[in-house]
Structures are given as C-alpha cells and as structure tokens.
Amino acid sequence: MTETRRFVLAPMDGMTRASFRLVCFEYGAEGATTEMIQSLALGRAKRRLSDTFAETMVRLPGEGNLAAQLIGSVPAMMGASARKLTDMGRFDAIDINMGCPARKVVGSGNGSALLKDPDRALAVMRAVRENTDLPVRLKLRLGWDPEHITAPELARAAGELGFESVTVHGRTRTQMYSGDVDIDGIRRVVAATSIPVYANGGVTRARDALSFLAATGAAGVSIGRAALKRPWIFDDIRRLEAGEPVTERDAGERVRVLERLAALACGLRPEPVAIAEMRKFSAWLLNGLTGSADILKALNTVVTLDNYRALMDTYLNTLIRENDTQIHPELAGEESLDTV
C-alpha cells in the first residue's frame, strides 16, 4: 500500500485521546495514532478492561486515518493483541511502539528498550505482522545511545516484513528530548528501507515541519508536542504550501478550540476529570494572552463544563472589550513539554 499522508499527529501518552485527535483532524491532520495500548492488558482474554483503558481505544466520528499504538516486548502477547485490535474493526493500522523513552516503559523492557535487543524487536515485529491483515507501522528512535544505532537495521527489516511505514524520532533514548535532532541519522533510516519514513522531533511551527521534510528526505512528518500548543499547525502547513499568510491565532480562536476540546473530553470522561485535564491544554493555548495567568489560577476551582465555558467566555469578552485579543510575544514563554 502506498501512503498519501504527509503531516500526521504523533502519539503522546496522556495527550492524544480521541478528543484532541479529532480537533487536530479538523485542522487538517492527515493521520493520527492512539495513546499506548499495553499488550499485557489487551492480550489477556479474561481481563476486563478498565474505563480508562477502554477510552484509549475510542474512535470518534470525524477522525481520519487512525492507527492503534501497541506496546510490549513479548512476541506471543503482541501477536494476540494484534488479533484483538484487528477484530475490533475500529482502526486503519497497528503501530508498534519502540520509541517511548519513559523510565517506567523501558524499565519493563518495552518501548525504546527494544532498540538494545534487535533480535527480540524483530520477533515482536514478526508476531504482529503474522497476526493481522491491517497495515503495520513501526515507531522508533535512532537507537538506545550513540553506540547502539539500530533504527536503520530495524527499518530495513520492517520493509522486508511488509510494513506500511516507519516513523523515526531523530534522537536516541539517552537524549530523551534534549539536544539537536540528528538529520543525517534520519536520512540514513530513509536510505535503509523502501517503505515510507516519517520524521519526528524538533518541530515547533509549520515552517519547521516543511524544512524538516525537505532536509530529511522523509515521506512525511509526525508532529507531536508542537500540536499541543498549536493544534492548528496542520492548517498552518496547508496555508504555507498554498502561499497564504500564516499568523498567530487570536484569543477568539484559541478559546473556541478550548471549548470544543472540553466538550469532546467531557463526552468521554467524567466532567471533573476531563476539566482537570483541560488545565494543561488551557495553559498551552492561552500562553501569550494578557491576563491568562489569572484565568489559569481560576481554573483550579472549576469542575464542570458549564463553568469552564462561562469562565472562558468571560475572559474572552474582557479581552474583546479591551481590544487585546492578540498574542503578545513578550508574554509567551516556551514551556517545557518534555514530560509528554
């Protein structure tokens, strides 16, 4: 299968729930991947899935091309999980996670820990491929550390096994999210396989995505943390490619996005839980607006969707009255998103 997707939303644990994915699709994302689905949970036929785990696998009407992200390191369990995901009839592909650098993940031998054990990684890849008729994708980093750069080898194997694509984050696990993305390293992965490679890492704005695509020679770009602060980045990319002007989104649009996201989230989770999670999205999207610190403080006491909307509307109306709805660069800090 030849992919036509170019700019897609990267999976982020605790962030890329169906509500956020749908907002990104509405702004033009050409694909997305669920949060991590643990093979240990999904592979046990008798285990009753928790509400939180089940939410991970929700797909909302309007979502475009969507892959289920499967994580684990036991081939038999990964194969069983691939069958279960396939039988759900809910996803367009299965994406194997060999890129997550989180300590709790690699400590269990999962995620990027597999980059230290190519034989086990290959066994996992074969088990998933043999147990689904869905397209299979692979997400990985360049390697565990500079002495263990295994991404080209695994990308080559993915092509030989008939995988649909590979996404490579241009850093090693030991780098986590620090340091420069290794453009040459990504190029070597592109050169190692015949299937499409998606470049990931270091994109903050639309222009970065376009230059990243050109520099790496990749088939597309997987955008993660930048979308948390700018879910409209996919529309910005479209505008740049069309020669249209791209400017910062004003307070009106940012508040509308937050209220849309809050409504979707509350449809999937209890309101107090969903609204509590909206605090981090509110902080990112309101960054650079006058008075946003006061609103974020007030959000700590909000637990219902109606109250969230009322607070956001009051804030927006205040900015409109003061003719102060534009982003102020001097107020906009670049908060760390390294924890996602």
Which residue has 């955008």 as its token pair?
A: 223
Known catalytic membership, residue 100: yes
Task: For the beta carbon of residue 119, count every other beta carbon within 10 angstroms.
Answer: 8
DSSP-derived letter for residue 67 is: E
Q: Say how far residue 289 (Cα) sits from the centre of its chain.
A: 25
Active-site residue, from 100, 219, 227, 257 = 100
Contacts of 210 by beta carbon, 8 Å cutoff, 6+ apart: 237, 240, 241
Residue 137 CA to residue 273 CA, distance in Å, equals 32
For 271, phi then psi, to 5°, come to: -55, -45
Sign of CA dihedral 276, 279, 280, 285: positive
Q: Are strands 197-200 and 66-71 parallel, antiparallel or unpaired?
A: unpaired
Catalytic positions, written as ranges: 100
